[in-house]
Amino acid sequence: MTTSPPTFSPEQEQLLHAAAAWRLIGLLFECPRPGWREQVAALGADTRDEQLRSAAEAAQTEASEGLHHSLFGPGGPVSPREVTYLGGVQLGYLLSELNAYYEAFAYRPDTIEAEDHLSVEAGFMAYLAIKQAYALASGENERAQITAEAAAHFKTDHLAVMVEPIARALESGGPPYLALAGQALFERVGPPVRTRLPLADALVADDGNEEMNCGTTQ
């Protein structure tokens, strides 16, 4: 007996493609490790974003652990951590705010990177897109709306703080695969809002707060 493949509404399908793109962006800003190239290649082959597809292809030959550390490591020219771009905001406050988001949606990335690392925050956007699609598929429209609002606030309050300077730095002096990834990221986030809001009022824990494991959505 054969089963028909699941069908998705246009909104759900768009969210799943967005999740894959965010996940790929997060991976491209991670340090390469065993299995990394295979994950990047698989997501790159499926993405609708030409920049990300090109970035995934270029990463197969350009990326290396040494290059990653020379760019993003201590003393490197580009910081991938949000705290670098926040001025007077203390690290403890920032991490507390990020952890409030992550705990509310049971996001537990498998990574050694800090909570404010670009790869972790991009992974969270991927996770929220999948959560929203799942809620819509389950008929839980209110939960889907809460998740969408949290994603919008998170993108403005956190990712937008660091994306523009990172994208500019990579465009002028980074390897092509990261320059492309930075451009694709900036197109999704845009420039920072000058007045940073406190912890998003829309952040509400899911009623069930069930844990979703989205493959390797780190």
Query: Regarding predicted confidence, which is higher, 119 or 196?
Result: 119
Say how many domains are in the chain. 1
- 195 lies in a domain? no
| Backbone φ, ψ for residue 81 (5° rounding) | -110, 135
- 214 lies in a domain? no
Q: Which amino acid is at 56?
A: A
- 215 lies in a domain? no
196: pLDDT confidence band, cut at 50, 70 and 90? Answer: low
- 34 lies in a domain? yes
pLDDT in tens, 15-70: 999 999 999 999 999 999 999 999 999 999 999 999 999 999 999 999 999 999 99
Q: What percent of the chain has pLDDT over 70?
A: 85
209: pLDDT confidence band, cut at 50, 70 and 90? Answer: very low
| Backbone φ, ψ for residue 117 (5° rounding) | -70, 145
- pLDDT higher than threshold 60 for residue 3: no
pLDDT in tens, 176-194: 999 999 999 999 999 987 6
Query: What is this structure's pTM?
Result: 0.85
- 33 lies in a domain? yes
Rounded to whole angstroms, what are the CA distances from 149 to 84, 111, 183, 203?
Answer: 26, 26, 24, 8
Domain containing 148 equals: 10-189
The mean pLDDT value for 146-169 works out to 96
144: pLDDT confidence band, cut at 50, 70 and 90? Answer: very high
Query: Regarding predicted confidence, which is higher, 139 or 203?
Result: 139
Q: Is 55:171 a contact under the CB 8 Å cutoff?
A: no
Closest CA to 128 of 33, 23, 11, 34: 23
DSSP single-letter state for residue 74 = T
pLDDT value for 8:
74
Q: Which of 88-92, 111-115, 154-158, 184-188 has the lowest mean pLDDT?
A: 88-92
What is the SS3 assignment for 24? helix
Closest CA to 159 of 122, 104, 130: 122
pLDDT value for 193:
78
Alpha carbon 107 to chain centroid, angstroms: 12
What CATH number is given to the structural domain containing 150? 1.10.3480.10
- 194 lies in a domain? no
pLDDT value for 161:
93
- 201 lies in a domain? no
- 94 lies in a domain? yes
- pLDDT higher than threshold 60 for residue 88: yes
